[in-house]
Structure 1
Amino acid sequence: MSPPRVLIVDDNLMNLELVSFLLQAADIDVSAASNADAALRAIAEVAPDLILMDIQLPDIDGLTLTRQIKADPRTRATPVVALTAYAMKGDEARMLEAGCDGYIAKPIDVTSFASRVKAYLARRAASSSS
């Protein structure tokens, strides 16, 4: 069985490197994109099992990009998990309303990050097999 594929969408190189390292160490295939255009290309090429979406991107915000992904019948079922420093009251509702399937607050907890991502992947696998 092939490892799960995760697309990380984040314009911060340090965040990309840290998240990539943690996921690769957990036997997860990782692709990365630093803006919306690159993310849309990567989604078409890689068909990720999960997208980790930074909310603040340079070209459009991550919630707008999430809405685009969820509006497309080809990618609607792909889970999108927001990576955000905005974990204030009301922010979770905005993320869920935009189509995010959950969120992970930044700064990420390096000890639990990979297991949290694997939990989202397991939910995806369970929903696609039922």
Structure 2
Amino acid sequence: MNSSARKRVLIVDDVENNARVLEAILMVFDVDIEIARNGHEAVQMVMDIPLDLILMDIAMPGLNGFDATVQIRKFLGDRQVPIIAITADVTPQTLNKVQLAKFDAFLPKPIDVPKLQAVVAQMVSPVETENTTISTGSPTSEHMQEPAAHVH
């Protein structure tokens, strides 16, 4: 993790508006935000700059979020960075793939703003915890709470 006072968060989404909505949601934190438009850019950014957290869209053209996460995990080795999967696809197959790709958390779209902020706060807070995984079980009504940001 980045040892400087300000944490650096990477948002990966091929839809610029979605990335900008996520960026606006994260403005409540004292973090520097980087944006990648696809999995290839995300992998390159991980190689070039220290990051503290990655918000990874799953469905992207080219290198999707699953494959990008596998490459990032392989590149980082022991120096891991939390990665949150973000997708509108909440099928059991996708949830299983999220677990297999070793995401640290999963958030369905549309984004539940308080839930996203709680997960981010947990992962970028100065207090290190051993277990930052958010359940990736079957989606429940809690995923559909208002207010939800319209990130598609």
TM-score between both structures, scaled by the size of structure 2: 0.73
Indicate how the Cα distance of structure 1 residues 90 and 22 shifts in structure 2: closer, same or farther if over 3 A, else same: same
Report the CA distance between 1:26 and its aligned residue: 2.2
Structure number with the higher helix fraction is 1
Is 1:117 aligned to residue 120 of structure 2? yes
2:7 maps to which of 4, 9, 18: 4
Matched letter for residue 107 of structure 2: I
Give SS of 1:72's match: helix
Q: 1:76 to 1:88 in 2, by over 3 A?
A: farther
The partner residue of 2:67 within 64, 67, 84 is 64
| Coordinate RMSD, CA, aligned | 2.2
Equivalenced residue count is 127
Q: Rate the CA distance shift 1:87–1:122 in 2: closer, same or farther, 3 A.
A: farther
**Deviation per residue, 1:103-124 (Å, 9 max, x gap):** 1111102233222211233498
TM-score by length of 1: 0.84
**What is the CA deviation profile of residues 71-99 of structure 1, one whole-angstrom value per residue up to 9, with x for unaligned ones?**
12457511111011112334222101012
Share of identical aligned residues, percent? 31
Task: List per-residue Cα deviations over 1:12-50 (Å, max 9, x = no partner).
Answer: 111100101111232222100001222122212321111
Matches within 5 A, 1:1-130: 2-74=5-77, 77-122=80-125, 125-127=128-130
Counterpart contact for 1:8–1:53, Cα < 8 Å: yes
Larger radius of gyration: 2
With over 3 angstroms needed to count, the CA separation of the structure-2 counterparts of 1:124 and 1:43, relative to structure 1, is farther
* Structure 2: distance between partners of 1:75 and 1:59: 27
Structure 2 CA distance for aligned equivalents of residues 124 and 66 of structure 1 = 24
Instruction: Could you tell me which runs of 5 or more consecutive residues in structure 1 were left unpaired when the two chains were aligned.
Output: none
